[in-house]
Amino acid sequence: MSYGRLWRTLHEENAKLMEHILFSKKSLLVLTIVFLSFNLFSQEWHYEITCAGTGVQGTYLVEVTSYGKTVDAALAQMKKDAVHGVLFKGISGKCSQKPLAGKAEVEYEKKDFFDKFFSASGDYEKYVIVDQNTGLEVAKVGKREYKVTKVVSVKKDMLRKDLEKAGIIKALGF
């Protein structure tokens, strides 16, 4: 094999390798964009919810710890977290309760309903009572993250009734 032929073969192989690498980088870039866009538009739940005592009839009294970029954002998220916790996580502590929805899969099975329910203009807020007279614990836990803890009431009977009427969860005893 002559030097020219060897050089041309190596050059062709190198070109194929570079084309493969370029294709791989493009594929990786597309996959990264798809993954990031999925994460940007999906709701991630990051909170703790525990029993805070006995509430008035038809409610759960819960202590919720939520996180946000500002204290106000964490407080707004706390209302969603309280309802989400009662529905899908359940309440831990001395008066523990199972999730109202029965199983966490309901959130994904009825995704369209719950995306709207937990949106900024969603109905979740009518099921939460925030007592302004109870204490608020605030802690800065990162450069741009706050942790807030507060006791709130969740109107569990009203929530259950409305979700049963909407066909989201099954009625008790059926």
pLDDT computed for residue 35 by the predictor: 46
pLDDT computed for residue 39 by the predictor: 40
Q: In sequence order, what are the residues at sequence separation of 6 or more whose Cβ sits closer than 8 angstroms to the Cβ of residue 97?
A: 51, 60, 86, 90, 91
**pLDDT by residue (tens digit) across 75-95?**
999 999 999 999 999 999 888
**Ranges in the chain, pLDDT < 50:** 30-31, 34-42, 174
pLDDT computed for residue 3 by the predictor: 65
Q: Could you tell me if 69 and 85 are in contact, meaning their C-beta atoms sit under 8 angstroms apart?
A: no
Q: Could you tell me if 127 and 60 are in contact, meaning their C-beta atoms sit under 8 angstroms apart?
A: no
Amino acid at 129: I
